[in-house]
């Protein structure tokens, strides 16, 4: 079955970077885009960007431009999201999510379990 398994919780100090992984299984990794979405405590869902695992191309939300980098490793069917210059407002659960049907714009039919990133001094 289609599954996205993310790396474990992280605690980081302000100014540091964090790299979260998302390992895909159960489907052809390079045939589907991947989103990263975050959710601050008690808040709504916020789209951070998209990566095409086939060629590695990315598009980031303007809010995160310059601070976020999404990459992939096709040999392990894993996508990564690295966020730098962390501040307390970046404390959130980070999700990878697969848009349906191989489309760049789609609804998410599969989500990772989420990775809590806590930024605290």
Partner 1 sequence: DIQMTQSPSILSASVGDRVTITCRASQSISRWLAWYQQKPGKAPKVLIYKASSLESGVPSRFSGSGSGTEFTLTISSLQPDDFATYYCQQYSSYSPLTFGGGTKVEIK
Judged by CB under 8 A, does residue 107 bind partner 1?
Answer: yes
User: Cα 56 from chain centroid?
Assistant: 14
Binding characters for partner 1, 61-90, by CB under 8 A (x = yes)? xx----------------------------
Judged by CB under 8 A, does residue 100 bind partner 1?
Answer: yes
Judged by CB under 8 A, does residue 41 bind partner 1?
Answer: no
Judged by CB under 8 A, does residue 59 bind partner 1?
Answer: yes
Pick the closest to residue 61 from 87, 31, 80, 35 (CA basis). Answer: 35
Judged by CB under 8 A, does residue 53 bind partner 1?
Answer: no
Comparison of 70 and 97: residue with beta carbon closer to partner 1: 97
Contact set with partner 1 (CB under 8 A)? 35, 44-47, 50, 59, 61-62, 95, 97, 99-100, 103-109, 111-114
């Amino acid at each position: 079955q289609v599954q996205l398994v993310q790396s474990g919780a992280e605690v980081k100090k302000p100014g540091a970077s964090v790299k979260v992984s998302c390992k895909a299984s159960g489907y052809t990794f390079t045939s589907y885009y991947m989103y990263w979405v975050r959710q601050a405590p008690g808040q709504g869902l916020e789209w951070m960007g998209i990566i095409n695992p086939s060629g590695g191309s990315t598009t980031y939300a303007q809010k995160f431009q310059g601070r976020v980098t999404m990459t992939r490793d096709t040999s392990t069917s894993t996508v990564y999201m690295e966020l730098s210059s962390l501040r307390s407002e970046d404390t959130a659960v980070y999700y990878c999510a697969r848009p349906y049907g191989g489309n760049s714009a789609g609804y998410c039919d599969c989500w990772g379990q989420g990775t809590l990133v806590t930024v605290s001094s």
